Amino acid sequence: MTSHAYNFGFLDEYAKKEVRRAILKAIAIPGYQVPYASREMPMGRGFGTGGLQLTLALIGPDEIVKVIDQGSDDSVNAVNLRQFIEMTCPGVSTTTCTAECTLLQTRHRIPELPLTAEQIIVLQVPYPDPLVVVESSENKRKTMHGEADYSRLLVKLYEDIVKYDEITISHRYPTRINGHYVIDPSPIPRWDVAKLNNSAALLLFGAGREKKIYAVPPHTRAEPLVFSDVPFRVEDFRDEAGQRRVCARCGCANSFLDEFVGDAGNKTYQCSDSDWCDEQLQRAEQVQGVAA
């Protein structure tokens, strides 16, 4: 049996065109989930096939691509996706440097470094619909979105406050785009939600298994769903004494931290964004060098 050569970007050109049309519609209607005929990719549904189809439909030969998972370029899934892109898109270069990339595919994080108008960020999405927590029928949810009827979501938030005195949604925080559609911003922590608002870069969301594409266009309002008297709160990285924890590696005190439990039960914290951590470390070393 002969081996079969694959097209540039794996997908056939018709499939890419279809994805691009869906992207254009998604940009035109900020936050609206555009259905598309998601193709099967040679990695598991749930491993970023939606994001990957966006990336492969957008990628050109001059592209500089960065892939992260949990903020890390070297996470197993990020490595896997990057290798696949390198294999199927000859000529495309890849980088781990956030500032350098033109196209960034990510799962669960938005980089700490603000992105620019020259960059596109593609987020991998497991559940595209924020209403799924209150309504299981997609047909009914579609009507609710059309009518901007998010009352049941607000009731859920209210019930949380009554029961726990806190909104318990940790990640995938429902976020209203351009004053109408509420999106599931993918499983990014609450820490990253503010980065959606008025972003210079185009944010694209791809849900492969659920066959939906949606977008937060540049310079568009993105507001987490809250009450006027209950502020939106991001993850709290203060220790018992109320001190902000710092990264054990680079010393950064304003990044999202991963928690590590040592064999002795001791805890250490490190930047989740590995490129950010490297940058801070380099900067600190330069400062030290100058001081010496």
Partner 1 sequence: MAYVAIKGGRAAIDGAAEAVEFMRAGSTGKEAPLQLDAIEQQLRLLVSRVISEGGLYHPRLASLAIKQFQGDTLEAAFALRAYRSTKPRLLETPPQDTSRMRCIRRISSAFKDIPGGQMLGPTYDYALRLMRLELADETPEHFRAISRRFLAATPEAQLPATFPKVLDALRAEGLLPPVAESREAAFDITREALTFPVPRSAALATLARAETGSLLGIAYSNMRGYGDIHPTVAELRVGYLPVMLPHPVTGETMEAGEVLITECEVVAMYEGNAADGPPTFTLGYGACLGHNETKAISMAILDRALQKGMKDGAANPSEDPEFVLLHVDGVDSMGFCSHYKMPHYVTFQSDMDRLRTTQKKSKERV
Question: Exposed (0-12), middle (13-18) or buried (19+): which is 266, by Cβ within 10 Å?
Answer: exposed
Active site residue 60: no
Amino acid identity for residue 222 in this structure: A
By C-beta, is 13 or 100 nearer to partner 1?
Answer: 13
Instruction: Determine if 146 is a binding residue for partner 1 (CB under 8 A).
Output: no
- Which of these is catalytic: 89, 101, 250, 252? 250
Q: 49-58 and 76-88 helices cross at what angle (nearest 10)?
A: 30
Taking alpha carbons only, the member of 160, 97, 174, 164 closest to residue 129 is 174
Residue keyed to tokens 């924020």: 130
Instruction: Determine if 25 is a binding residue for partner 1 (CB under 8 A).
Output: no
**Secondary structure element (H or E) that encloses residue 93, with its range:** strand 93-94
- Which of these is catalytic: 9, 31, 50, 51? 31
Q: Which of residues 243-282 bind partner 1 (CB under 8 A)?
A: 248-249, 256-260, 262, 268, 270, 272, 274, 277
Instruction: Determine if 144 is a binding residue for partner 1 (CB under 8 A).
Output: no
Q: Which stretch, 35-43, 114-122, 147-155, 218-226, contacts partner 1 (CB under 8 A)? A: 35-43
Instruction: Determine if 138 is a binding residue for partner 1 (CB under 8 A).
Output: yes
Which residue from 100, 149, 166, 239 is in contact with partner 1, where contact means CB under 8 A? 166
Active site residue 252: no
Q: Which stretch, 73-81, 97-105, 145-153, 223-231, contacts partner 1 (CB under 8 A)? A: 73-81
- Which of these is catalytic: 89, 101, 247, 252? 247
Instruction: Determine if 44 is a binding residue for partner 1 (CB under 8 A).
Output: yes
Instruction: Determine if 64 is a binding residue for partner 1 (CB under 8 A).
Output: no
Taking alpha carbons only, the member of 46, 21, 52 closest to residue 36 is 21
By C-beta, is 8 or 221 nearer to partner 1?
Answer: 8
Active site residue 101: no
Q: How far is the CB of 179 from partner 1 (least distance, A)?
A: 25
Instruction: Determine if 118 is a binding residue for partner 1 (CB under 8 A).
Output: no
Rounded Cα distance, 272 and 82, in Å? 19
Q: 13-28 and 49-58 helices cross at what angle (nearest 10)?
A: 100
Residue keyed to tokens 């568009």: 220
Rounded Cα distance, 197 and 117, in Å? 14
Instruction: Determine if 211 is a binding residue for partner 1 (CB under 8 A).
Output: yes
Instruction: Determine if 29 is a binding residue for partner 1 (CB under 8 A).
Output: no
Instruction: Determine if 169 is a binding residue for partner 1 (CB under 8 A).
Output: yes
Amino acid identity for residue 268 in this structure: T
Q: What proportions of the chain, in percent to the nearest 5, are helix, strand and coil?
A: 30, 20, 50
Question: Which residues have a catalytic role annotated?
Answer: 31, 247, 250, 271, 277
